Amino acid sequence: MMSLAERVLAGDSRAIARAISLIENEDPQAAALVRTIFGKTGRAYVIGVTGQPGAGKSTLVDRMTAEIRGRGHSVGVLTVDPSSPFSGGAVLGDRLRMQGHAADEGVFIRSMATRGHLGGLARATGDAALVLDAAGKDIIVIETVGVGQDEVDIIKTADVSILTLVPGTGDDVQALKAGIMEIADIFVVNKADREGADRLVSSIESNLTLQTYGPDQWRPLILKTIATNGTGVTELVDAIWKFRSHSEATQSARRQERSAFRLRELVAKRFMDHLELGVLRPGELEAMVERVAAREIDPYTAADELLALGLTRAEGL
Amino acid sequence: MMSLAERVLAGDSRAIARAISLIENEDPQAAALVRTIFGKTGRAYVIGVTGQPGAGKSTLVDRMTAEIRGRGHSVGVLTVDPSSPFSGGAVLGDRLRMQGHAADEGVFIRSMATRGHLGGLARATGDAALVLDAAGKDIIVIETVGVGQDEVDIIKTADVSILTLVPGTGDDVQALKAGIMEIADIFVVNKADREGADRLVSSIESNLTLQTYGPDQWRPLILKTIATNGTGVTELVDAIWKFRSHSEATQSARRQERSAFRLRELVAKRFMDHLELGVLRPGELEAMVERVAAREIDPYTAADELLALGLTRAEGL
């Protein structure tokens, strides 16, 4: 009988789904799986798509997926919703969509939602992308909702970042103002048949003008799309390909930076597991929290005491 | 000469501003300051306001501040923008607004934006709230943009959470769907003179109908406001007061949960500082990252090796 890792490496869709579920649930088997498959990863190209709710990202990703499939590549899609920390399930709409690809073996689609402290969702998304990579998907599309720190962290998992904006929502200027611009390699003005599309393009353009780009540096492209009827989607995929060949030299540095970020988060998580599951006695953390609540101790001193416990009681390891 | 902590405790606005800057910059003095003032905190009531960009939160918070001042309480306002991780500065618009309160000594307003891994922004916001609390502000309003995990973490700093929605943006249904509902104690439908306001109220209402509330459990209130002309603001502040007296019994449990969350993040941060600044030699982390990039080692094994280093080299502490 084949192991789960072997089945993932063979590209078995049910094994991929099972592996991602283990990752979502932070099952101990998930880490073991990632350890096993990790050597077979690093081949896939990862596209990140973000933007506010209502920007039409899902439809856009659908169309992009069809276009990329049409060019002969297999595709894995992860839709990530950091704003559903409490629901614990994926967004229904995402599950119902993309039915057009359901019969296509070359497309794997999955929604992710998970609680998770300490960058848990970004870590889970990164691991799920490794699974798709190991399973032989050429292109991985990660779609996130919103433009907060979480989305930024998730988008950092990507080789290319696409920010989707919509004319006339008023959100756009704020999104631009808010510094999210700096993570976008490609801007997409979706619903470009709406009033204000050209104005939005100009406002992105004038923002870009404020930046300085070196001669070899990528200057973000701005594209207009109408995802609902497919307008501009071919050009978008062309732009992604263009970015990919432009950034071949810098891609490994970007992946390295991402890898350092993830490694730091993972080490922090491991220490907390060590502390809470291996070192502290039941109720010890809660007792410290109560002392903080009673103002008997301040949080920084409390943290130092817990850290000292985690370090000194490590001897028995 | 008075120390910074003494000046904060005396309610000196310039000292408060200086203290919050230290916190934003993760200055070592900031932790020392929080240690010193912590015993004088726990008196202020914290109101969290969140919602998508464009929901009119700033204007709403302005009006609420005026109303609360009118009832004789001093107010501290923190506007937090998790989506500006790279800009490193506060959003200009926030600095320019609220000029009406500029001459009022009983109001302190501050925008915050900071990079920060491992819950850095939530931690900084929590510490800034402690400063305002120690400085004698009766009410602290924390306003965040967006509805991602970061905002959820920040809103958890609050004693009462207000979610602001706007009719006819299409965002609302997605926000509701996305599980953010579960953190809201009060829903505000702002710009309630727009078409679709009643429909939005009904859709929130029918979502609430799906939940089960125990006899003593708070059932979220839904209020309509037009922040630009002040409509509904008195009722909103009444609703906050109502929630406050309703939740007196459960408030300490909520604060305790929040405190446990923050303590965990702080311990993790402390361990990483210990590891990166005290244990690892320069370049050691980077070397490990390169081994991961070269697929010589998987990230989980790498994390375990770094953790082991952090624990075993702790003896010299």
**For chain A, what are the domain ranges?**
41-249, 263-316
**Residue among B150, B268, B298 whose CB faces A150 most closely:** B150
Mean pLDDT, chain B, rounded, equals 84
Please state, in angstroms and as integers, the Cα–Cα distance from residue B26 to each residue in A192, B115, B279, following that order. 42, 10, 20
**pLDDT computed for residue A145 by the predictor:** 74
- Those residues with Cβ within 8 angstroms of residue B219's Cβ, 6 or more apart along the chain or in another chain: B208, B213
- pTM more than 0.90: no
Confidence of residue A98 (pLDDT cuts 50, 70, 90): low
> Fold for domain B42-248?
Rossmann fold (3.40.50)
Query: Distance (Å, rounded) from C-alpha A302 to C-alpha A220?
Result: 46
Query: Distance (Å, rounded) from C-alpha B187 to C-alpha B180?
Result: 11
Region for residue A81 given its phi and psi (left: phi exceeds 0; alpha: psi -120 to 50; beta: otherwise)? beta
**Residue among B53, B300, B308 whose CB faces A171 most closely:** B53
Query: Distance (Å, rounded) from C-alpha B200 to C-alpha B203?
Result: 5
Task: Please provide the DSSP assignment of B211-261 as one string.
Answer: S---TTSPPPEEEE-BGGGTBTHHHHHHHHHHHHHHTHHHHHHHHHHHHHH
Instruction: Summarize the confidence of residues B263-273 as an average pLDDT.
Output: 91
Mutate to test the interface with A, among B267, B273, B291 (most CBs of A within 10 A): B267
Please judge whether A314 and B311 are an interchain contact, meaning their C-beta atoms are less than 8 angstroms apart: yes
> Fold for domain A41-249?
Rossmann fold (3.40.50)
Q: Where are the alpha helices (DSSP H) in chain B?
A: 4-9, 13-24, 28-37, 57-70, 92-96, 120-134, 149-155, 171-177, 197-209, 233-246, 248-273, 284-293, 299-312
Confidence of residue A89 (pLDDT cuts 50, 70, 90): very low
> How close A70 gets to chain B, by Cα (Å)?
31
Query: Distance (Å, rounded) from C-alpha A47 to C-alpha A64?
Result: 10
Q: Which residues of B touch A82 (CB under 8 A)?
A: 148-149
Mean pLDDT, chain A, rounded, equals 84
| Range with the poorest average pLDDT among A45-59, B114-128, B178-192, B271-285 | B114-128
Please judge whether A263 and B286 are an interchain contact, meaning their C-beta atoms are less than 8 angstroms apart: no
ipTM for this model: 0.79
Residue A147 pLDDT exceeds 90: no
> How close B135 gets to chain A, by Cα (Å)?
16
**Residue among A39, A85, A256 whose CB faces B293 most closely:** A256
- Tell me which range, B174-178, B200-204, B224-228, is most confidently predicted by mean pLDDT: B224-228
**pLDDT computed for residue A43 by the predictor:** 93
pLDDT single digits (tens) A285-308: 999 999 998 899 999 999 999 999
Confidence of residue B45 (pLDDT cuts 50, 70, 90): very high
**pLDDT computed for residue A258 by the predictor:** 81
Please judge whether A304 and B270 are an interchain contact, meaning their C-beta atoms are less than 8 angstroms apart: yes
Please judge whether B87 and A264 are an interchain contact, meaning their C-beta atoms are less than 8 angstroms apart: no
| Range with the poorest average pLDDT among A11-15, A148-152, B47-51, B208-212 | A148-152
- Tell me which range, A14-23, A80-89, A197-206, B105-114, is most confidently predicted by mean pLDDT: A14-23
Please judge whether A117 and B175 are an interchain contact, meaning their C-beta atoms are less than 8 angstroms apart: no
pLDDT single digits (tens) B245-261: 998 888 888 888 888 88
**pLDDT computed for residue B87 by the predictor:** 33
Higher pLDDT, A86 or A155: A155
Q: Which residues of B touch A170 (CB under 8 A)?
A: 53-54
